[in-house]
Amino acid sequence: MSKIKPSKGAPYARIMGVGGYRPVRVVPNEVILETIDSSDEWIRSRSGIATRHWASPEETVAAMSVEAAGKAIADAGITPEQIGAVIVSTVSHFKQTPAIATEIADRIGAGRPAAFDISAACAGFVYGLTLAKGMIVEGSAEHVLVIGVERLSDLTDLEDRATAFLFGDGAGAVVVGPAQEPQIGPTVWGSEGDKSDTIRQTVPWDDFHAGSQEKFPAITQEGQAVFRWAVFEMAKVAQQALDAAGITPQELDVFIPHQANMRIIDSMVKTLKLPDSVTVARDVETTGNTSAASIPLAMERILATGQAKSGDTALVIGFGAGLVYAATVVTLP
């Protein structure tokens, strides 16, 4: 018989607060057209993107995260000292070690929480949310700060016609805490590593370091393959998340997918047969694809603009490089 005492966590977990930060500089499609042979009409028709935000040198991954985290903590009505863990999802923190989460934890005044980074691309925020839920129910933390943050402008090849217009910068954060009833549903997640080359870094860091490649590494993708996968396979995952939570499309209030592409979002809405009463986040139009930051940024905006309200039931799904994916149903804070 085990002598280990059982964990004493909360029965359930919930999102308590949300915050976001978008860099000051707004970049219209006209700027992108300076380096690729395309048009504003083509970019809008293919992606739905009109503008995106690009960070200045001062708007670092850590600085943007601190801003978003401060708003989320205030929105949750707690103090930084109550944060027991900090999880940061990012692919654009360029130090192999230490994790940027440790610096962020210190800068927000969180004391000595657990702090670590995860790399799950555009699904990273939902991965972090799932880990936070487990921590709270298990009892290893009472409040967890989950951040999705990217400076994808650092990894954008402005001469790549397939991707130059897609990416933006920003940070989104949520505080996850204890709940007495289910407010974060089961997560449906996974990966399809046999398709990992469809979204990838152009050059490995070691090849660049060795000098065999002169051009700085960037993110590239096979657009049509990614589109087909996202539309057909991710709609299935989204439906599985609804089923796991015991929610029908008619009971859903809000849909917050990864803001990859407006055509993908609209196609998923159609495939899922979501009723017109469901509010759909379309933050991609003015924010671009911010990878791990896109879901919390879209969540923050949809609440701030009054398109959604506290207590609404929302389906969130992230999907991207790996290929990885994760979906769950949450109650909005």
> How many beta carbons lie within 10 A of that of residue 211, not counting itself?
7
Contacts of 301 (CB under 8 A, 6+ apart): 20, 281, 283
CA distance 93 to 83: 22
Residue 227 structure tokens: 């589109």
122, 143, 209, 261: the catalytic one is 122
CA distance 115 to 135: 12
Q: Distance between alpha carbon 229 and the CA centroid of its chain, in Å?
A: 18
Residue 264 structure tokens: 């993908």
Q: Distance between alpha carbon 182 and the CA centroid of its chain, in Å?
A: 22
Beta bridge partners of 316: 256, 328
53, 93, 258, 261: the catalytic one is 258
93 labelled catalytic: no
Is the separation of the CB atoms in 285 and 259 below 8 Å? Answer: no
* Amino acid at site 219: I
Q: Taking the CA atoms of the chain, what radius of gyration do you get in angstroms?
A: 19
CA distance 21 to 192: 31
29 labelled catalytic: no
The phi, psi pair for 56, rounded to 5°, reads -85, 170
CA distance 220 to 155: 9
- Nearest alpha-carbon partner for 330 in 66, 317, 319: 317
CA distance 294 to 285: 12
The residues that are catalytic are 122, 258, 289
